[in-house]
Amino acid sequence: MTKHLQRDLDAVYHDLLSMSTVVEEMIDQAALALIERQYELAAKVIAADEAVDRREVKIEEECLKILALHQPVAIDLRRIASVIKINNDLERIADLAVNVAQRSLSLDEFLQFPVPQKVSRMVSLVTQMVRGSLDAFVNLDTSAAKRIMSMDQTIDELNVEVIGELQALMQDAPNLVVPALHCFSASRHIERIGDHATNIAEDVVYLVAGDIVRHKSIESRMH
Amino acid sequence: MTKHLQRDLDAVYHDLLSMSTVVEEMIDQAALALIERQYELAAKVIAADEAVDRREVKIEEECLKILALHQPVAIDLRRIASVIKINNDLERIADLAVNVAQRSLSLDEFLQFPVPQKVSRMVSLVTQMVRGSLDAFVNLDTSAAKRIMSMDQTIDELNVEVIGELQALMQDAPNLVVPALHCFSASRHIERIGDHATNIAEDVVYLVAGDIVRHKSIESRMH
């Protein structure tokens, strides 16, 4: 890899990690808005989305410039293709954080509604998954990526338990149907954040495995 | 553009449209499973997902080959970057069709549950949006892309109406809470298919506009 390509790749990785930091904060704030009813945070999350959209466009432009300028091949080319996809995932995760923030605002009229405790455990896990998947990508760390993929099952199980609690609430008290549905949606959005982090982790495994496959095919051609 | 690049681009577009045809069929079948209780179709949708995953990998590999081999620039480079993203969207749409199929199976125990009529209108719209967004991409048709983006609002409105109907059902009959939640999830999945089609349409607008911006900046440098 040339020095210039290395420098430009480092820059785009830096921007991607920095975007991820913003997105993780959005998830945390949306969760606090939902669980601890800190509504002013919901407005912050909704306002932050535009800056994330701009970051996404900037990162994609950087990727296209790297492709046009350095014409990378093999693993470097795969890395850039992964950045394009991960960038897209991060932007969607930000959208989901906005959706959670919006649901928290809809719960505003239902101050006494008990948001299930497990939602807060889900949020803490998906935030770790987002950060972990980005780190696994930057370090090409397949084991870390696989750990993240396995966390997704825990999220899904927690989501099922949350839905169970909400179902019971709705069956007992029809006046709780509306807030429970808002909460149900929020829980689903959080679960989908986990899905996106899992997609990123899968990309990492594929990126590393794809490279091995490529090497193998080159070796086999040489024999 | 060289003849070889044109040929390889045509091939990848062909594969993308063919994948889209499969994915659209999955949406239709999942919808029939849900609305008309044709459960055997749900199994078909779930089984079809693996082939879509393989298509996704193949298309991404084609894109990487084109980048490495032809080192396209400008609009051709943007096109390939868009294919990478759209390919990803189509795979997620297939996952959502699988989710709808799974919800339809969960409704199996609740044969008398009335799935709101509007769900079927939503499905018909999102299938049009998926096909339309792909056609808009292949033809770089910004007006068609914008029409698709405007359809998303109708989907969101229908989804809100469906949720309203389900809320009313649950408030009136606690024994309908469980099937109504399955239906609620299915409706959300369908709405998200619309979101993905909208993302594809937005890519088209950005692809065409980005090109104009690029031309403008070249012109301004020339003056």
pLDDT digits (tens, 9 = 90+) for B98-136: 999 999 999 988 988 999 999 999 999 999 999 999 999
- Answer for the pair B45, B33: CB distance below 8 angstroms, yes or no: yes
> DSSP character for B36?
S
| Contact indicator for B80, A98 with CB cutoff of 8 Å | no
Domains and CATH numbers, chain B: 3-222 (1.20.58.220)
d(Cα B18, Cα B62) in Å, to the nearest integer? 14
Contacts of B57 in chain A (CB under 8 A): 206
In angstroms, rounded to a whole number, what is the distance separating the alpha carbons of residues B129 and B124?
9
Q: Average the pLDDT over each of A5-9, A214-218, B15-19, B76-80 and give the range with the smallest value.
A: A214-218
pTM of the model: 0.92
Interchain proximity B177–A170, CB inside 8 Å: yes
Per-residue pLDDT tens over the stretch B45-55: 999 999 999 99
Q: What pLDDT score was predicted for residue B212? A: 58
Nearest residue in B to A210, CA atom: B61
Please check the confidence at residue B222 and state whether its pLDDT lies above 70: no
Query: Left, alpha or beta for A115 (phi > 0: left; psi -120 to 50: alpha)?
Result: beta
Quote the CA–CA distance of B135 and B37 in Å, as a whole number: 31
For B36, phi then psi, to 5°, come to -105, 10
What is the CB neighbour count within 10 angstroms for residue B82? 22
A177–B171 CB contact, under 8 Å: yes
| Type and span of the H or E element at A141 | none
3-state secondary structure of B140: coil
Is B58 a residue whose pLDDT tops 80?
yes
Find, among B48, B15, B17, the residue nearest to B30 by Cα: B48
The nearest alpha carbon in chain A to B178 belongs to: A167
| Structure-model confidence comparison of residues A212 and B42, the more confident one | B42
Distances, alpha carbon A78 to alpha carbons A21, B10, B52, B62, in Å: 23, 22, 21, 12
Q: How many Å lie between the alpha carbon of A167 and the closest alpha carbon of chain B?
A: 7
Mean pLDDT of chain B: 93
List chain A residues with CB under 8 Å of B60.
81
How do residues B160-190 score in pLDDT, each as one tens digit? 999 999 999 999 999 999 999 999 999 999 9
Decide if A171 and B177 are in contact by the 8 Å CB cutoff: yes
Contact (CB<8Å) B167/A178: yes
> What number of C-beta contacts closer than 8 Å exist between A and B?
63
Distance between B70 CA and the closest CA of chain A, angstroms = 9
Q: Which two tokens stand for residue A119?
A: 């939602």
Which residue in chain A is spatially nearest to B79 when comparing CA positions?
A64
Distance CA A205, CA A217 (A): 18
Closest to A106 in 3D by CA, of A42, A174, A27, A188: A42
Please report, as a single letter, which amino acid is at residue B66. I
SS (H, E, C) B106-129: HHHHCCCCCCCCHHHHHHHHHHHH
Residues of B within 8 A of A167 (CB-CB) are 177-178, 181
Do B35 and B120 contact (CB within 8 A), yes or no?
Answer: yes
Q: Which residues of B touch A (CB under 8 A)?
A: 57, 60, 63-64, 67-68, 71, 73-74, 77-78, 81, 84-85, 88, 163, 166-167, 170-172, 174-175, 177-178, 181, 184-185, 188, 206
Three-state DSSP class for B141? Answer: coil
Tell me, what's the pLDDT at A196? Answer: 96
Q: Which residues contact B13 (CB under 8 A, 6 or more apart)?
A: B83, B138
What is the CB-side half-sphere exposure of residue B217 using CA atoms within 13 A?
6
Q: What is the pLDDT of residue A221?
A: 43
Would you list the DSSP string of A29-73? HHHHHHHS--HHHHHHHHHHHHHHHHHHHHHHHHHHHHHHHH---
Reported confidence tier of residue B210, pLDDT bands at 50, 70, 90: confident
d(CA B32, CA A44) in angstroms, rounded, equals 41
Question: E-assigned strands of B27-183?
Answer: none
pLDDT of B145 > 70? The answer is yes
d(CA A174, CA B170): 7
The per-residue b/e assignment along B148-168, b for 16 or more CB within 10 angstroms, e otherwise, is: bbebbeebeebbeebbebbbe
One pLDDT digit (tens) per residue for chain A, 223 residues: 789 999 999 999 999 999 999 999 999 999 999 999 999 999 999 999 999 999 999 999 999 999 999 999 999 999 999 999 999 999 999 999 999 999 999 998 898 899 999 999 999 999 999 999 999 999 999 999 999 999 999 999 999 999 999 999 999 999 999 999 999 999 999 999 999 999 999 999 999 987 655 555 444 444 4
| Nearest-neighbour CA in chain A from B196: distance (Å) | 10
Angle in degrees, 0-180, between the axes of helices B142-172 and B177-222, rounded to the nearest 10:
160
**Nearest CB to A167; choose among B84, B163, B181:** B181
